[in-house]
C-alpha cells in the first residue's frame, strides 16, 4: 500500500497527490512515469512523475479527473492509500550539451513539463518556459514553474490572465526576437505538440515531445501504446515517452487516442449512476 501524505486541489478538474514511495523516489528522473491502481479491482493508470523528493521518499502525481478511475482516485485524501504503484518506468530525459531551451506545457501537460524545466534549470541551462491554458481559472503550478526556469510566459486562449495567445505564437515571437534555442521540449495535447513541431521544423530547431498514449502493462508487451516514429513502430512505455517530435506521426496518434471515446463516456455514466443509487439507498 502507498500512503497519500499530501493532496491539493489545483483547479476544479485537476488534483495533486504526494505519495510515499521511497524506492521509486530514489531512482525517478524527469520524463519517467509510474502506473498505479486505486484498489484491487481498479485499472492500471499511467501517470508521468510530476516531482519527487529523494529525502522524503515521496513521488508527486498531478492528474485530471476525466473518467471513472480518476474520479475514484480523487475520492482519496491524505492518509488514504493506493493499492499499488510501480515505477519508475520509461526512459529518462537526456539533456546533454544544451545551453538554451524552450520548455512548453499545454494544460495538464504543464505538470509534465515542470520537472523537465526544473532539471534543466538545475543544470545551469537557460530555460524559457511557455505554458498555455484555456483561461486563468485553469492555470496550475505557476509558482513552481516560475522557480524552475529563467523566464516564464503563461498564456491563455481568452486572455483572461492578461496574456492572450497560443503557446506557438509566443514561441515564434521569442524566436523572431533573436532567441537561439538548442532545443524545444513540448508536452501537452497531441494537437498542441503537433503545432509546436510544425513551427520548429521551419526554424530547424530540435524538438522533443512526450508521448502519453493508451498504456496498459507499461512493459511493451501489450502494444497498446504503439506509435509511429520515423516510419517505425515504437512503444511509448519502453522506447519513450520522449521522442523526436519531427519524426512522430501525429495524425495516427491523434486517431488512436480517440478510439475509446464512446466507451470512456459510457463508463463515466455508469459510475455516476452507481454513485447516485448509493446515495439514494443510504
Euclidean distance between CA atoms 195 and 212, whole angstroms: 17
- Class of domain 2-89 (CATH, top level): mainly beta
**Which residue from 70, 33, 73 is spatially nearest to 51, judged by alpha carbons?**
33
State mean pLDDT over 124-150.
96
Tens of pLDDT, residue by residue over 24-44, are 999 999 999 999 999 998 888
The mean per-residue pLDDT over the stretch 95-124 comes to 95
The pLDDT mean for the chain works out to: 90
Q: Could you list the residues known to form a binding site for FAD, using ranges.
A: 62-64
Percent of the chain with pLDDT strictly greater than 90? 74
Q: Looking at the predicted structure, is the pLDDT value of residue 123 above 60?
A: yes
Binding site per annotation, positions for [2Fe-2S] cluster: 222, 225, 237
* Assigned architecture for domain 100-257: 3-Layer(aba) Sandwich (3.40)
Is the pLDDT at 268 greater than 60? The verdict is no
Indicate whether 275 pLDDT > 60.
no
DSSP string, the chain: -EEEEEEEEEETTEEEEEEE-HHHHHH--TT-EEEEESSTTSPPEEEE--EEETTTTEEEEEEE--SHHHHHHHT--TT-EESEEEEEESPPP--TT-SEEEEEEETTHHHHHHHHHHHHHHTT-EEEEEEEESSGGG---HHHHHHTSSEEEEEESS-TTS-BS-HHHHHHHHHHTT---SEEEEES-HHHHHHHHHHHHHTT--EEEE-----SSSSSSS-TTEEEETTEEEEHHHH-SEEETTTB-HHHHHHHHTTTHHHHHHHHHHHHHHHHHHHHH-
Is the model's pLDDT at 55 over the cut of 90?
A: yes
Which residues does the annotation place in the binding site? 62-64, 222, 225, 237
Model confidence at 261, in pLDDT bands (50, 70, 90)?
Answer: low
pLDDT at 227 over 90: no
Give pTM, 2 decimals. 0.86
pLDDT digits (tens, 9 = 90+) for 65-109: 988 889 999 999 999 999 999 999 999 999 999 999 999 999 999
Identical fold between 2-89 and 100-257: no
**What ranges do the domains of the chain cover?**
2-89, 100-257
Amino acid at each position: 500500500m502507498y500512503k497519500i501524505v499530501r493532496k491539493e486541489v489545483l483547479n476544479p478538474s485537476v488534483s495533486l497527490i504526494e505519495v510515499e514511495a521511497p524506492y521509486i523516489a530514489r531512482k525517478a528522473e524527469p520524463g519517467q512515469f509510474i502506473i498505479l491502481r486505486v484498489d484491487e479491482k481498479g485499472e492500471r493508470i499511467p501517470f508521468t512523475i510530476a516531482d519527487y523528493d529523494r529525502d522524503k521518499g515521496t513521488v508527486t502525481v498531478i492528474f485530471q479527473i476525466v473518467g471513472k478511475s480518476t474520479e475514484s482516485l480523487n475520492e482519496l485524501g491524505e492518509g488514504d492509500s493506493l493499492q499499488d504503484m510501480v515505477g519508475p518506468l520509461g526512459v529518462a530525459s537526456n539533456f546533454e550539451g544544451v545551453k538554451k531551451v524552450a520548455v512548453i506545457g499545454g494544460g495538464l501537460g504543464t505538470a509534465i513539463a515542470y520537472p523537465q524545466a526544473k532539471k534543466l534549470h538545475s543544470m545551469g541551462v537557460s530555460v524559457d518556459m511557455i505554458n498555455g491554458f484555456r483561461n486563468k481559472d485553469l492555470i496550475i503550478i505557476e509558482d513552481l514553474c516560475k522557480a524552475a526556469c529563467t523566464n516564464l510566459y503563461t498564456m491563455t486562449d481568452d486572455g483572461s490572465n492578461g496574456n492572450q495567445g497560443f503557446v506557438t505564437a509566443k514561441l515564434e515571437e521569442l524566436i523572431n526576437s533573436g532567441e537561439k534555442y538548442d532545443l524545444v521540449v513540448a508536452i501537452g495535447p497531441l494537437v498542441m505538440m503537433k503545432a509546436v513541431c510544425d513551427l520548429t521544423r521551419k526554424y530547424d530547431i530540435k524538438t522533443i515531445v512526450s508521448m502519453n498514449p493508451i498504456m496498459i502493462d507499461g512493459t511493451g508487451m501489450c502494444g497498446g501504446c504503439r506509435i509511429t516514429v520515423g516510419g517505425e513502430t515504437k512503444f511509448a512505455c519502453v522506447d519513450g515517452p520522449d521522442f523526436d517530435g519531427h519524426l512522430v506521426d501525429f495524425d495516427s496518434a491523434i486517431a488512436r487516442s480517440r478510439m475509446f471515446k464512446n466507451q470512456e463516456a459510457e463508463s463515466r455514466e455508469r459510475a455516476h449512476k452507481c454513485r447516485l443509487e448509493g446515495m439514494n439507498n443510504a
